[in-house]
Structures are given as C-alpha cells and as structure tokens.
Amino acid sequence: QVQLVESGGGLVQAGGSLRLSCAASGRTFSDLNMGWFRQAPGKEREFVAAISRTAGMTSYSDSVKGRFTISRDNAKNTVYLQMNSLKPEDTAVYFCAARAGYNYPYTGGYNAWGQGTQVTVSS
C-alpha cells in the first residue's frame, strides 16, 4: 500500500513562489505515475499536474500551465510541484496522488492520496 506525505504548503503573497514535496513509501516509486490535485473551499477537487513514471512526460491544467512545474526524483521517492507567479485563486488544499499503469501522466484514476497541504495566496 502506498503512503504519501505532502509538505511545503504555507502562506505567500500574490506573485510569490512555493515548492511542494510529496514523499512516497510502500511501493517501488518508479512504478508509480504521480499527480497533484487541489481543492478550494466549496469546490470539487481538480487536477493540477501529473508526471509519468520515468519523468519523461508531464501534463498540466490550463490554469497553471506556464506557472507550475512538476518534477520527480526517483532516487528520493519524491515528487515536487514548483509553483511560481501564485495568484489568490491558487488558494486550496493541495493533494499528492499516485497510480500504477502505463508510463503516462494520467489526469485521473488515482487510487492513493496524501492528506493534503494548505496553500494560501494573499492579494
């Protein structure tokens, strides 16, 4: 069973940057495609970014494309989300997710989730 633990959230001013980390355990990390999702108050959870098992492919939502970068370090069993040019509308709880499957940056179908980390962007 995969365990995921996010860290790196916090309070930042608009235009600032944060880097989220997600440490995975319980399964060979390079077998897992990884994703980041977020959920704002009163809204459904939405896809943010994904990266394939070998890091050769990535996918982003239109709302973060060009501002956020997903990456992974398979030697450290960790996936990252570098968030630049943050906006108040990026405020949400950010979740790390994992799934097996083909080497592909899936935008859904994840079956392992972290507990989430709060990101708050002030205007």
pLDDT in tens, 98-122: 999 899 999 999 999 999 999 999 9
Query: What is the C-alpha to C-alpha distance for residues 35 and 83, in angstroms, rounded to an integer?
Result: 14
**Which pLDDT belongs to residue 52?**
97
Of 3, 9, 50, residue with least CA distance to 23: 3
Pairing mode, if any, of strands 112-113 and 46-51? unpaired
- Cα of first residue to Cα of last residue in the chain, in angstroms, is 40
**Which pLDDT belongs to residue 2?**
96
Average pLDDT, the chain: 97
* 3-class DSSP assignment, residue 85: coil
Pairing mode, if any, of strands 117-122 and 10-13? parallel
**Which pLDDT belongs to residue 56?**
84
